[in-house]
Structure 1
């Protein structure tokens, strides 16, 4: 009997992480053979050897290790001959959108994770500061994000995957802290529902749901479980643009 070949790509991480989920979805969309190796972020010397910041995801390739999600997406585009935006301008515009999502929505919302997902508390000052940043970043993203029907155009691209999984957790935090639906404010509710129905999303969101509840219980988090299904139907009126 022939031995089963080990996939050339192995993605290391944990399905609670939106960045891991971005990379996982990109690999699924690419059609490449790969393997998932479950692990959490770590500051051990061994893990820092493969991920210098000790973060997940980390992609193991035939040539070595790649950390940082944007770098992993670039590798997947090249390695898997993924369809890239046609022009340099289109590629730059999509990177611009990724930067806005990451730096001005995902990162500020991440500062509120302790009081939502991790059993801690968020100060009134932190909540107010993030609200102020959101007011600016949602205005910017409304200008940049124009689904046609995807952010990348007629077909979903890596910019869609990046925005979808970052906004997934940001939406949960925003509803919990501010009773405010970012997806509705951004005009992205239909786009998010369309993204959630993709086969890759069904697999990735399913893996997320399997571990999210135990993670929240482990952290004694304030966020309720079972968690709200963000994509079952349009956001309710009580969650639309209400600023606490």
Structure 2
């Protein structure tokens, strides 16, 4: 059986978890808060989550895991079969990660953990995040899904990246990223009604206290 390593608060972990649930695949969740120990780095060479345990060994990097899942399980495909459409979904996945998720992540310390970030880093977060949203407006179809009329991996990246970006924009810059992007708001609402998305959200809420205690403990250890 596949084993999914990570923790329920991680958006990348939840991307993989959603794909596994959506496809009806059997898997075991293994709580994994990686560090730089030899044991952790055996599972995930960079000490990141998620990681996937298979009969052949461990696999890391979310996009690689998602494509592996797609290749071994044909039920409920999350990538189109036509090559050009498939490439467009991959491009949207990459654009959402590079130009929305990663810029928003610059603001996480201040938005979610009460830590101040440097003014230049905050400005970089804002500029790159707005440019990323503009990119998605140009490239995304939202008809009604990100890449067209079917749920794809682009929607998985969108679901577990754009909501966090909205929170960062609101808390750090008093900006509503959905104000002039109603298609995105409508799709987020639609996706959040899905049974598997609600299960993942409930698991995240249940695990949030443990995660926050871990963050506090690590911050205290670093300070000492």
TM-score for the superposition, normalised by structure 2: 0.89
> Which residue pairs with 1:146 in the alignment?
141
Q: 1:161 aligns with which of 139, 156, 180?
A: 156
- Decide whether the 8 Å contact of 1:11 with 1:60 is kept in 2: yes
Measure, in 1, the Cα distance between the counterparts of 2:144 and 2:29: 30
> Which residue pairs with 1:69 in the alignment?
62
Measure, in 2, the Cα distance between the counterparts of 1:152 and 1:79: 22
Relative to structure 1, the CA distance from residue 64 to residue 185 in structure 2 (aligned partners, 3 Å threshold; closer, same or farther) is farther
Post-superposition shift, 1:153?
A: 2.9
> Which residue pairs with 2:199 in the alignment?
203
Post-superposition shift, 1:12?
A: 0.6
Unaligned stretches of 5+ residues in structure 2:
217-224
Post-superposition shift, 1:117?
A: 2.3
> Which residue pairs with 2:49 in the alignment?
56
Q: 1:23 aligns with which of 1, 13, 16?
A: 16
Relative to structure 1, the CA distance from residue 73 to residue 13 in structure 2 (aligned partners, 3 Å threshold; closer, same or farther) is same
**How do 1:119-134 and structure 2 match up within 5 A?**
119-134=114-129
Post-superposition shift, 1:162?
A: 1.4
> Which residue pairs with 2:32 in the alignment?
39
Deviations 1:66-90 (A, max 9, x none): 1000001001101111423031111
TM-score for the superposition, normalised by structure 1: 0.82
Measure, in 2, the Cα distance between the counterparts of 1:181 and 1:41: 34
Measure, in 1, the Cα distance between the counterparts of 2:38 and 2:189: 41
- Decide whether the 8 Å contact of 1:138 with 1:186 is kept in 2: no
Post-superposition shift, 1:175?
A: 1.4
Measure, in 2, the Cα distance between the counterparts of 1:176 and 1:75: 36
| Count of residue pairs brought into register by the alignment | 213
Q: SS of the residue aligned with 2:98?
A: helix
Measure, in 2, the Cα distance between the counterparts of 1:126 and 1:45: 32
195-204 or 135-144, larger mean C-alpha shift? 135-144
Relative to structure 1, the CA distance from residue 47 to residue 214 in structure 2 (aligned partners, 3 Å threshold; closer, same or farther) is closer
Unaligned stretches of 5+ residues in structure 1:
1-7, 221-244
Post-superposition shift, 1:213?
A: 4.4
> Which residue pairs with 1:110 in the alignment?
105
- Decide whether the 8 Å contact of 2:4 with 2:53 is kept in 1: yes
> Which residue pairs with 1:87 in the alignment?
82
Relative to structure 1, the CA distance from residue 217 to residue 51 in structure 2 (aligned partners, 3 Å threshold; closer, same or farther) is closer
Measure, in 2, the Cα distance between the counterparts of 1:10 and 1:219: 24
Deviations 1:25-53 (A, max 9, x none): 11000111111111113211111112111
